[in-house]
Structure 1
Amino acid sequence: MFLNYYSIVAAVVVGIVSGILGVKWIRTGLRSGQVVARAVTVGFVGTVILSGGALFITGLDGFTLVHVTYVVGAMGAPIAGGIALLAARTRPQAVTAVCVIALVAIPVGVYATYVEPFWLRVDTAELAVDGVDERIRIGVLADLQTTAVGNYENEAVDRLLGFAPDIVVMPGDLYQFDDDLFDERAPQFTQVIRRILDDVPLVFLVSGNTDTVAGLRQITAGTGARVLDNEVDTFELNGITLSIGGTTLFGDEASARRMAERLTGDEHADVRILLAHKPDAIELLHARPADLLIAGHTHGGQVSFPLIGPPLTLSSVPRHVAAGGLHELDGTPIYVSTGVGRERGNAPQLRIGVRPSIGIIDLVGAVGP
């Protein structure tokens, strides 16, 4: 919270200084390009200096730099443009155009912060799998990644259950808060798990970046949900045998590889599914593919641009895969959820071009030749 206030103050300072200097340069008769270049330079230098102050507060954290830069762009640029429009009565047309464009950052910032992060969608996919005679529906509730369960999180659960899944998987980052808040907040997440289990008896979880196996096991204790810690669970559903293996992020790599070998080498299973937080778990399947890998983590990049896609996914899989949805990689179908929540901590609370989602994957019988 303090970082957000600091970023707002930084944005106001950068905006006012850039705007006042811009007006001064306009009045001295500088060309449009010179005015814009100087104002941008002042804004950039100011952002760098104030970002250094933020890092002094939070410690080295790339998300801090992104946070300050985003707020300065969303607030500082419109402030500078507004000052130039109001104070410089005579302006070159090019400068006027740049100032008007800067004001567009206001609605963009409002949308990215207060609209898209809560504009939940349902992402549906169908996958043909040998051995499946009757449809099996898998609900994916990834990256809830919240400090507390509120109306938005409950809406996500309601919408998921409305599709009547046979299985619900939760691939990590269920919660994100400091350890000293765990005992206070954990019961809210236990209630979420119980609500799901009231309708769906098969619920599987793995740990991610912001939660732990121990934390998830405490949350799910006595509920019937299964936390997979480099383990494989095999069961019968709709007359077929399914095996679900779950890999633990930051767990023992040797155990993860043994789990993957057990999963893909199980000749008695009709369907083999690997559940992981990061899609990078595809590396565990290099020797033998699975029928499906389900992951989250990337949030679809959380920011994505038309024709370009997400500039940052924090994953080694191809960007078009990390962007979300059902793809095939190294012979294994891989579904990556864009997640329900968003990065917390020092990161800016935003989404642009990547709406949050719950996933519905229907496994259907493969069509013969």
Structure 2
Amino acid sequence: FLGWCAAVILAGAAAGLLGLTLAVLFERPAGVIRFLSYAIFLHGTIILAATAVIYRKKRLAALAALAGVMLLSLTAVRAFLLEPHWLEVNRYRIVAPKITRPLRIVVIADPQIDKIGHYEREVLRLAMAEKPDLLLFAGDYIQAFREDQQRLCREFNELLREMDIQTPLGAFAVRGNVDPLQWMEIFQDAGVRAVGETRSFDLGEVQLTCLGLRDSYRTSPVRYPPTGGRFHILLGHVPNFALGNGDADLIVAGHTHGGQLQLPWLGPVVTNSRLPRKLAHGFNVLPGGGKMIVSRGIGMERGYAPRFRFLCRPELVVVELVPGEEGATDERK
């Protein structure tokens, strides 16, 4: 009997190793992650359940196997069913000596829509309910197969137009790395200015520089007009550009999803950026003195990837810029 169990385990391990090798050779990275998630949460649960039955007369071994089944099942429920739509609204208060009145900025990053439903509508409703002075879209709006992209651009555009976006300082969008070539159609006549190449905008006491996708990947300093003492915001999709522009007053980016999978004490496992892991999500102060916010995004990786988040809830970012003296304390609510 024990020999039979060992043979089954070895056969399963060999099949898993063969499958992983084929996935690495012929699949995209997202496909490899999908394969591993199936191996852990589906096959792992089955094997542990079978182990509990086989060793039911050995109480300790059976209880340990059942505990493993419960742990994997609860983790799967949280990661695949709860967290992907468990939106968190994170508020950051930043003291800005260069402005004379409070300003509210809302950041929407990485929806990565492959269909539009209640969750996407609710996120936009919450964003507009904040009554922002400035609305920033940080890229990755649609992630779908080519035959669906045109339809989704049209549907997303209709949704934005329903929201009747009106903000005192405007609404701006930059391109993400998964967006289709016709991404600007999403924002046509919707009250949002889509910016395809690096360009600066004078918004009174604020200067906003929107980065083209290629420039957001670079770590060299961005060229922009003199700020004239205005509060300078740099908006880009991939946060790599923060490494060369730490003197900007505020850097806003997305792309990393906060790792989408975080582990206790480690944080994000993968960030797909050149930033150190601790800088790849949330609020940080850069060596040059500038503030940086990298949003975890409101969506998740789609396409060939498994649809999950773990210990990394989607977020809507709200930034409160308040006048104050240099050196005053910033805070997160």
- TM-score in terms of structure 2 length: 0.88
1:32 is matched with none
1:273 aligns with 2:233: yes
The residue aligned with 1:25 is 2
Q: Post-superposition shift, 1:356? A: 0.4
Aligned mates of 1:367, 1:52 — CA distance in 2: 58
Q: Determine the C-alpha separation between the residues in 2 that align with 1:140 and 1:266.
A: 22
Q: How many residues align?
A: 325
Aligned to 1:172: 139
Q: Match for residue 33 of structure 2?
A: 66
Q: Which residue of 1 aligns with 2:16?
A: 47
Which structure features the higher share of helix residues?
A: 1
Find the residue that maps to 1:134 and give its secondary structure: coil
Within a 5 Å distance, the mapping from 1:1-369 to structure 2 comes to 24-25=1-2, 42-54=11-23, 59-91=26-58, 93-94=60-61, 96-200=63-167, 202-212=170-180, 214-236=181-203, 240-250=204-214, 260-263=222-225, 265-267=226-228, 270-285=230-245, 289-322=247-280, 324-331=281-288, 332-367=290-325
* CA positional deviation for 1:368: 5.0
CA contact (8 A) 1:129 1:366 kept: yes
Q: Deviations over 1:262-296 (max 9, x none)?
A: 15x332x511111011111113426xx11111001
Distance in 2 between the 1:351 and 1:252 partners?
Answer: 25
Gaps of 5+ in 1: 1-23, 29-34
CA drift at 1:334: 0.6
2:198–2:215 Cα contact (<8 Å) kept: no
1:152, distance to aligned residue in structure 2 (A): 0.5
Q: Which runs of 5+ in 2 are unaligned?
A: 328-333
| CA deviation after TM superposition for structure 1 residue 354, in Å | 0.3
CA distance in 2, matches of 1:367, 1:167: 23
Q: Residues 257 and 314 from structure 1, CA distance in 2 versus in 1: closer, same or farther, beyond 3 angstroms?
A: closer
CA distance in 2: counterparts of 1:62 and 1:234, whole angstroms? 38
What is the TM-score when the length of structure 1 is the normalising length?
0.80
Q: Is the 8 A contact 1:197 1:225 kept in 2?
A: no
State the Cα distance separating 1:43 from its structure 2 match: 4.3
Which protein is bigger by CA-based radius of gyration? 1
